[in-house]
Amino acid sequence: MKELKKNFKNSHILIIGSGIVGKFNALELSEKGFQITIADPQKSKNSSNASLGLLIGHMYQKSKGRSWELRKKSNELWPKWIKFLQQYNESLNIEKPLIQLTTDQRKFEKLSQFISNNPKRDLQVLKSESPIIKNINKIFNINNLKGIISYQDGRINPISLLKTIDIYLKSKNINFMNEEIIKIQKIKNQWISTSKNKFEIKSDAIILCNSLGALKLIDLNRNDIKLKPVLGQAIEISINEKEINLLSLPKHFSINNKNFLPINKNKIIIGSTDEYDIKPKENIFEELTDFVEHKPQWLDKNKITSKWFGIRSRPEGEASPILKSLEKGLILCTGFYKNGILLAPACSNWISNEIENHLL
Ligand SMILES: Cc1cc2nc3c(=O)[nH]c(=O)nc-3n(C[C@H](O)[C@H](O)[C@H](O)COP(=O)(O)OP(=O)(O)OC[C@H]3O[C@@H](n4cnc5c(N)ncnc54)[C@H](O)[C@@H]3O)c2cc1C
C-alpha cells in the first residue's frame, strides 16, 4: 500500500457516474492514494438509489464460473468494508438472514439438492411446517410455500450505504462535479473529458461507471459493446389492519423472485420487476403479487402509497457485469443489471488492481 501511494500519488483519476459502482471505486482508489474526481449531474436519481439492497451471494446456485467468482469475492470483502465504513456511520450494517421461497415444487427440489451439495454455504431448507413459512402463508393467504434460508446473505440499506460513502468521500476532500460528461478524448498521454457545461477535466485515467451512458462516450466501432435498459420497479403498501403485523414477517424474503421488505407493522416494500423498457408498466401491482390467487384484504392495489423505478443496464452477448480495459487509461465498469450493490466491492477490487497496468 505504501509503495503504491508513493508511485501513484500524483495520478488523477476521473470516475464518470456516482451510483454505487462509481462511489465504491472512488472509495477504494482513494484509499490506495489516488487523486479522484467524480462527475455526475444526477447523483441521487439512479438505479442505485432505487435498489432494494439485497446481497444474494451465498445462495447463488452455481459454484464455478466468473459470476460465482465475483460473488465469492464480494462475499469475502463486504464484512471488511462494513467494518471500515462503520467509522463513518456506526449503524451501517448487513441485516441477515435472507429467505428465498417458491410455490414451484420442482424449483424447491432443485434448491434442496443445491443445499445438500453445498454444505459449507450455511443454507438450510425451510419446509412447509416451519413456523416462518406458516406465518407467511397465513398473512398472504396461501398454502404452498417452501424454500431456503441463507444465514450469511442479507440486506444493506442502499441509501444509507451511498450516504455513508459520501461522508467518507467528503472527509477525503474528493472532488465532486455536478456535470454530465459528453466527450472524452486522449491527447498525448492525458485524458480530457468535456462536460455539457463546457468544463474540461484533465486526468491520467478514466473509469466509466455511468451504466448505459457509457455507450455514448466510447468508440463503438472499436469496442463491440451492447447494453440493454431493464427497468426495475418497486411499490410500498401501507395498511391499517389490526390483526396483521407486517413486522411478524422476516426482515426480507423473496417469493417467486419478488422481494419483500417489511418496513414497520403497517408498511411493506415489494419489488422488483424485470421490464425490457424505459417506461414503467401500469400493471406493476399485479406483476408483483401474481403468486397469490386469493389475495388477502390487506394486499390491495389501492393501498400503494409510493412507487418508484430504476433503469439497470444489462449486457447483450456477454455476461454481466462488463469490466474491461478499453485502452491505456480507460476502463469500463458497467452492465451490473440486478446485482450492482452486491458486486460493487468485487468490481472495485478488480479495478484497483487493473489500474496499475494503466498508470505504470
Ligand atoms: C428496483 C430495483 C431493485 C434492485 N435491487 C437490487 C438488489 O436488491 N441488490 C442488488 O445488488 N442490486 C439491485 N438492483 C440493481 C442495482 O441497483 C444496480 O445494479 C446498480 O445500482 C448499478 O449501479 P451503477 O452505479 O452501475 O449505476 P447507476 O446507479 O444507475 O449509476 C449510474 C450513474 O451514472 C450517471 N451518468 C450517466 N451518464 C453520465 C455522464 N455522461 N456523465 C456523468 N454521469 C453520468 C447517472 O446520472 C447515474 O447516477 C436493483 C435495481 C432496481 C432498479
- What CATH number has the domain bearing residue 21? 3.50.50.60
pLDDT band at 1 (very low <50, low <70, confident <90, very high): very low
Residues 210 and 331 in one domain: yes
- 3-class secondary-structure state, position 274: coil
Q: Which protein residue's CA is at the shortest distance from atom 21 of ligand 1?
A: 48
What's this model's pTM, rounded to 2 decimal places? 0.96
In a domain, 75, yes or no: no
Which strand (E) or helix (H) includes residue 259?
A: strand 258-264
Q: What percent of the chain has pLDDT over 70?
A: 98
Quote the pLDDT of residue 267: 98
Work out which ligand 1 atom sits closest to the CA atom of 45: 49
Instruction: For 38-61, write each residue's pLDDT tens digit.
Output: 999 998 999 999 999 999 999 999
40 Cβ neighbours under 8 A, 6+ residues apart: 16, 17, 18, 22, 176, 177, 178, 179, 180, 210
Nearest C-alpha to atom 53 of ligand 1 is from which residue? 310
Asked if residue 236 and residue 169 are part of one domain, the reply reads no
pLDDT(240) > 50: yes
User: Ligand 1 centroid vs 43 CA: distance in angstroms?
Assistant: 10
In a domain, 104, yes or no: yes
351, 359, 333: which is closest to 27 by C-alpha? Answer: 351
Q: Would you say the CB of residue 180 lies under 6 angstroms from ligand 1?
A: yes
Q: Quote the DSSP letter at residue 199.
A: -
Cβ–ligand 1 distance for 211 under 6 Å, the answer yes
Same domain, 287 and 344: no
Cβ of 197 closer than 6 Å to ligand 1, yes or no, is no
Domain count, the chain: 2
Geometric angle at alpha carbon 316, from 61 and 63, rounded to 5°:
15
- Distance separating alpha carbons of residues 92 and 156, to the nearest angstrom: 8
91 falls within a domain: no
DSSP single-letter state for residue 319: P
Residue 166 lies in a domain: yes
Q: Are residues 144 and 174 in the same domain?
A: no
232 with 309, same domain: the answer is yes
Comparing C-alpha atoms, which of 198, 193, 190, 232 is closest to residue 213?
Answer: 193
Q: Which stretches of 29-84 are assigned E, i.e. beta strand?
A: 35-39, 54-55
288, 338, 342, 343: residue to mutate for ligand 1 pocket, most atoms within 8 A of CB:
338
Which of 42, 48, 153, 273 to mutate to test ligand 1, by most ligand atoms within 8 A of the CB atom? 48
Q: What is the pLDDT of residue 47?
A: 97
CATH code of the domain covering residue 117: 3.30.9.10
In a domain, 70, yes or no: no
Output the CA 188–ligand 1 centroid distance in Å. Answer: 32
Rounded to a whole number of angstroms, the distance between the first and last alpha carbons of the chain is 15
Q: pLDDT value at position 2?
A: 44
Same domain membership, residue 271 and residue 255: yes
- Contact 203 CB / ligand 1 (< 6 Å): no
Q: Please indicate, yes or no, if residue 132 is contained in any of the structural domains.
A: yes
DSSP H or E segment with residue 271: strand 267-271
The overall average pLDDT reported for the chain is 95
> Is residue 175 located within the same domain as residue 286?
no
CB 225 within 8 A of CB 322: yes
DSSP one-letter code for 120:
G
For residues 40 and 3, what is the distance between their CA atoms, to the nearest angstrom?
A: 31
Question: Cα 219 to chain center, whole Å?
Answer: 27
CA of 6 to the centre of ligand 1 (A): 33
Does 129 reside within a domain? yes
Tens digit of each residue's pLDDT (9 = 90 or more) over 328-354: 999 999 999 999 999 999 999 999 999
- Tell me, yes or no, whether 299 and 234 share the same domain: yes
287 with 301, same domain?
yes
The answer to whether residue 87 sits within a structural domain is: no
Give the single-character DSSP code of 134.
H
Closest by CA position to 256, among listed 147, 115, 133:
147
Which helix (H) or strand (E) segment holds residue 76: the answer is helix 66-85
Asked if residue 322 and residue 190 are part of one domain, the reply reads yes
Tens of pLDDT, residue by residue over 67-95, are 999 999 999 999 999 999 999 999 999 99
Q: What is the extent of the structural domain holding 309?
A: 98-151+228-315
Q: C-alpha 63: how far from its chain's center?
A: 21
Cβ of 210 closer than 6 Å to ligand 1, yes or no, is yes
Cell matching residue 49: 438509489
